């Protein structure tokens, strides 16, 4: 006997649901890679090679990481001072360049910090320039941007459509600008960056401006770790304003922007999804994802098809210098509310099956009535 139409529909729906529901579970794509004592702080996505580029805090080298975790040394810059760290990376896609923020903390043997922006050609893997980042007031790498002399920290970098780079100073709370040729200046020392209270009891209270992105609308967005604020910065004159968010981005670190305009901000504990409908006068945190605090996510990037990835570099272990580690990871993130969309499709499927079953039953009823009349 042939199976009924209703049974066939039920079987089809059952198979569909069993395929859809497991896909709603959080099976995050984890890319594990190995590099002894790298403790990476920064990474970015290279769309030409389809690989991630990772920068460490203990070695003056940059790694290329494939989707399968295959690791290759992209370049090793022996001209950099010892103990230098790559704190920020971005790819200048139009010019096929990698831009890297380099910082070395002061030590008893080298009391002056070192801050610079390097540009590397991704085809030849040769350095194009290495420009020290100084304070314009005294041309000294010890930035006297406050009453107390504090060392600058070149933390993160972004690039605009003309190849100009913008670098945040996390200690001095200002933004450098570097033109395509590698000539540096200070873009913004806006007082807005110092207009919000800082909780001095938190361990990151000395870390100011951190992650930075250039938007397709032609301005910068930057986040501040010790206040949780986001700022909108004019690239022409450096004027800045606070973006009015519905909540603070606690301990904000790296950030990235998707092609749909959504900004993602990473911290040690959470990944924030932020959007704006008015060119970032205001913004809304519409989703958050809890992160592995022990892994200490410090950077976020956008890969193919707007996929969001965070880097677990275990940098606190590296800072404490009391641990050896060989394995690190890059993890794909997915918005939590996407599961709701999947269940919506399931409900629509049930409705469609019910409608088709109803039509089938009505057609059979009409056919039976026609037979009786005949």
Task: Give 270-323 pLDDT, tens digit per residue.
Answer: 999 999 999 999 999 999 999 999 999 999 999 999 999 999 999 988 877 666
Q: What is the pLDDT of residues 201-250, one digit of tens each?
A: 999 999 999 999 999 999 999 999 999 999 999 999 999 999 999 999 99
- Domain assignment present for residue 2? The answer is no
Q: What percent of the chain has pLDDT over 90?
A: 70
Residue 92 has pLDDT above 60, yes or no: yes
* Higher-scoring residue by pLDDT: 50, 351: 50
- Domain assignment present for residue 132? The answer is yes
Structural domain including 345 reads 340-373
pLDDT at 77: 94
Residue 23 has pLDDT above 50, yes or no: no
pLDDT at 2: 47
Could you tell me which residues come within 8 angstroms of residue 286 by beta carbon, excluding any fewer than 6 positions away? Answer: 273, 274, 275, 337
- Domain assignment present for residue 309? The answer is yes
**Are 200 and 280 in a shared domain?**
yes
Residue 139 has pLDDT above 80, yes or no: no
**Are 229 and 348 in a shared domain?**
no
Residue 361 has pLDDT above 70, yes or no: no
**Are 332 and 344 in a shared domain?**
no
**Are 34 and 142 in a shared domain?**
yes
Strand order in the sheet with 61-65: 42-46, 51-55, 61-65, 71-76
**Are 255 and 224 in a shared domain?**
yes
- CA neighbor of 223 nearest in space, from 308, 299, 329: 299
Q: What is the CATH number of the domain that holds 185?
A: 2.120.10.30
- Domain assignment present for residue 24? The answer is no
Residue 5 has pLDDT above 60, yes or no: no
**Are 292 and 274 in a shared domain?**
yes
- Domain assignment present for residue 1? The answer is no
pLDDT at 373: 63
pLDDT at 209: 98
Q: What is the pLDDT of residues 96-130, one digit of tens each?
A: 999 999 999 887 777 778 999 999 999 999 999 99
Burial class, 164, CB count within 10 angstroms (exposed 0-12 / middle 13-18 / buried 19+): middle
Place of tokens 């900004």: 263
pLDDT at 258: 98
Q: What is the pLDDT of residues 318-347, one digit of tens each?
A: 877 666 899 999 999 998 765 444 444 445
- Domain assignment present for residue 162? The answer is yes
**Are 258 and 364 in a shared domain?**
no
**Are 90 and 193 in a shared domain?**
yes
- Domain assignment present for residue 47? The answer is yes
Residue 143 has pLDDT above 60, yes or no: no
**Are 157 and 65 in a shared domain?**
yes
Residue 74 has pLDDT above 90, yes or no: yes
Q: What is the pLDDT of residues 32-59, one digit of tens each?
A: 999 999 999 999 999 999 999 999 998 8
**Are 295 and 369 in a shared domain?**
no
- Domain assignment present for residue 83? The answer is yes
pLDDT at 208: 97
Sign of the dihedral through C-alpha 182, 154, 329, 38? positive
How many domains is the chain partitioned into structurally?
Answer: 2
30 within 8 A of 331, measured Cβ to Cβ: yes
**Are 326 and 344 in a shared domain?**
no
**Are 296 and 351 in a shared domain?**
no
């Amino acid at each position: 006997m042939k199976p009924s139409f209703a049974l066939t529909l039920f079987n089809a729906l059952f198979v569909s649901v069993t395929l859809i529901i497991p896909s709603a579970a959080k099976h995050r794509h984890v890319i594990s890679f190995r590099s002894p004592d790298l403790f990476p702080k920064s990474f970015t996505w290279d769309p030409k090679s389809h690989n991630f580029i990772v920068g460490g805090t203990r070695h003056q080298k940059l790694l290329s990481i494939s989707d399968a975790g295959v690791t290759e040394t992209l370049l090793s810059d022996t001209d950099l001072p010892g103990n230098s760290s790559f704190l920020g990376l971005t790819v200048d896609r139009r010019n096929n360049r990698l831009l890297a923020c380099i910082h070395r903390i002061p030590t008893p043997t080298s009391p002056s910090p070192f801050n610079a922006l390097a540009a590397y050609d991704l085809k030849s893997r040769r350095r194009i320039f290495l420009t020290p980042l100084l304070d314009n007031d005294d041309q000294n790498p010890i930035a006297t941007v406050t009453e107390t002399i504090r060392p600058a920290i070149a933390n993160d970098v972004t690039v605009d459509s003309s190849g100009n780079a913008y670098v945040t100073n996390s200690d001095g709370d200002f933004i450098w600008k570097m033109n395509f040729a590698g000539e540096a200046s200070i873009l913004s020392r806006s007082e807005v960056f110092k207009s919000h209270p800082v909780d001095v009891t938190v361990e990151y209270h000395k870390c100011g401006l951190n992650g930075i992105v250039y938007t397709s609308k032609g301005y910068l967005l930057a986040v501040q770790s010790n206040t949780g604020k986001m700022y909108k910065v004019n690239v022409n004159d450096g004027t800045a304003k606070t973006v009015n968010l519905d909540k603070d981005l606690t301990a904000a670190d790296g950030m990235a922007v998707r092609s749909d305009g959504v900004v993602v901000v990473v911290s040690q504990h959470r990944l924030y999804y932020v959007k704006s409908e008015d060119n970032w006068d205001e913004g809304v945190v519409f989703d958050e994802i809890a992160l592995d605090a022990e892994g200490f996510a410090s950077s976020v990037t956008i890969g193919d098809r707007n996929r969001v990835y965070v880097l677990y570099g275990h940098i606190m272990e590296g800072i404490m210098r009391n641990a050896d580690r060989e394995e690190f990871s890059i993890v794909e993130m997915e918005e939590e509310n996407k599961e709701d969309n999947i269940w919506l499709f399931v409900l629509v499927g049930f409705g469609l099956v019910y409608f088709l079953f109803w039509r089938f039953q009505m057609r059979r009823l009409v056919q039976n009535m026609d037979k009786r009349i005949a």
